[in-house]
Amino acid sequence: MRLSVTTAIAALALLSFAPAPQAQSPSSQVALTPPMGWNSWNYFAAKVDDKGVRAAADQIVSTGMKDAGYIYVNIDDTWEAERDASGVLHTNSKFPDMKALADYVHSKGLKLGIYSGPGNKTCAGYAASLGHEEQDAKMYAEWGIDYLKYDLCSFRQDVMAAQAPNDKAAQMKLMIAAYEKMGKALKATGRPIVYSLCQYGWDSVWEWAPALGGNLWRTTGDISPNWNSMYTILSQQEGLQSYAGPGHWNDPDMLEVGNGRLSLAENRTHFSMWAMLAAPLLAGNDLPNMKPEIKAILTNKEVIAIDQDKLGKQASRVYSEGEVDLWMRHLAGGAAAVAVLNAGSERYSTHPFHLDLTKLGLHGTQKGKDLWAGKDVTLTQGMPIELASHDILLVKIDSPK
Ligand code: GLA
């Protein structure tokens, strides 16, 4: 289900809440760099099944994605059947044996993720975890689950609206308590399980999620495979950079690389910018039918290394000129990455764009590497840069001056 959250965000943004104190995440032994893997939702949605997940795991290995760092194979919504008299949630016929599937995925050296939510129902209307949090967490651990995406969905009606109608502050407390409950339940299993909060970036989730064990949290509504969706989400990440770090990441949603109507330049820009943002890199495409040029984007190791940089410092947009955006990220060892992005609808929208290194805090000629051309590049003050529409220049500078 694609959620429309704009109105609710606007309403909640008007309220001022005291943020929970920042604390080290109890699960910080996982996700020390942004999680990488694949998730079923963006391409397969309700069509995901055991066979498709096994095929995705096989492809992650055979395409070299595993070697490039993709480890989590995440089942999203629609695996669930009903609970039995003892409250045990069963899988539906698409997933005959979740433990066997976990064993298979693990046998490939990969990890398995699953999906639920704090309400009665998931976004697609399947059974979720309300009132069964400990029981579900225990079952996940017994299956060998390594990652949980916990999606708000019906909790808004089931609990927030039902228990605290018209009281946004009380509703927020209920929501935080629900996420905390599952965080504790996961921790109590003793199994390292990445905890991914999905509540669309409401209520400054970045301020309170780490303290309750959240390793990542969605910062926006759902992404779609088109430029406007991707670029709007990208623009909404500005200002959140201080909340990202080892063990706790802003999540601008899963990758749409290879999906929908994104051009090659747009796919490159999407992937580059998620790397600049230290975002989780969860591919969401049809892996068995992936085109070589999409594989080349998803497995560009130097771009992935930007994402996975151990400092975990998310990029900021340093300046924009016309339709060109300049983002910069500081990397371990004093290195830096600079992205020049043409958000305009034509090549000439970058004219007359001249790079201003001083605005980036850089002085004089900079020697770097263009990570898409795979070539050395020299950046000079005032140099003209011409980019195709929606394309990007991504440069790593080892010794910025
Ligand atoms: C919500 C989430 C999506 C996906 C669907 C599944 O819309 O934001 O990422 O998990 O639910 O129903």
Structure confidence at residue 349 as a pLDDT band (50, 70, 90): confident
What are the phi and psi torsion angles at 160 (to 5°)? Answer: -60, -55
Query: Does the beta carbon of 305 sit less than 6 angstroms from any atom of ligand 1?
Result: no
Tell me if 73 sits within 8 A of 111, measured CB to CB. yes
Query: Does the beta carbon of 222 sit less than 6 angstroms from any atom of ligand 1?
Result: yes
Q: Which helix (H) or strand (E) holds 330?
A: strand 324-330
- Tell me, what's the pLDDT at 99? 98
Query: Does the beta carbon of 122 sit less than 6 angstroms from any atom of ligand 1?
Result: yes
User: Which are the catalytic amino acids?
Assistant: 151, 222
Task: Indicate the residue type of 366.
Answer: Q
Nearest to 250 by CA among 234, 266, 232: 234
Distance CA 194, CA 223 (A): 21
Structure confidence at residue 346 as a pLDDT band (50, 70, 90): confident
- CA–centroid distance, 228 to ligand 1, in Å, is 19
Structure confidence at residue 352 as a pLDDT band (50, 70, 90): confident
Instruction: Look up residue 280 and give its two tokens.
Output: 């989780």
pLDDT digits (tens, 9 = 90+) for 237-258: 999 999 999 999 999 999 999 9
For residue 81, count other CB atoms closer than 10 A to its CB.
14
pLDDT digits (tens, 9 = 90+) for 104-120: 999 999 999 999 999 99
Count of residues for the chain? 401
Average confidence score pLDDT of the chain: 93
- Tell me, what's the pLDDT at 173? 98
Query: Does the beta carbon of 212 sit less than 6 angstroms from any atom of ligand 1?
Result: no
Nearest protein Cα to ligand 1, atom 8: 222
Distance CA 397, CA 55 (A): 38
Q: Which atom of ligand 1 is nearest to the CA of 115?
A: 10
pTM given for the model:
0.93
Distance CA 203, CA 19 (A): 9
- CA–centroid distance, 346 to ligand 1, in Å, is 33
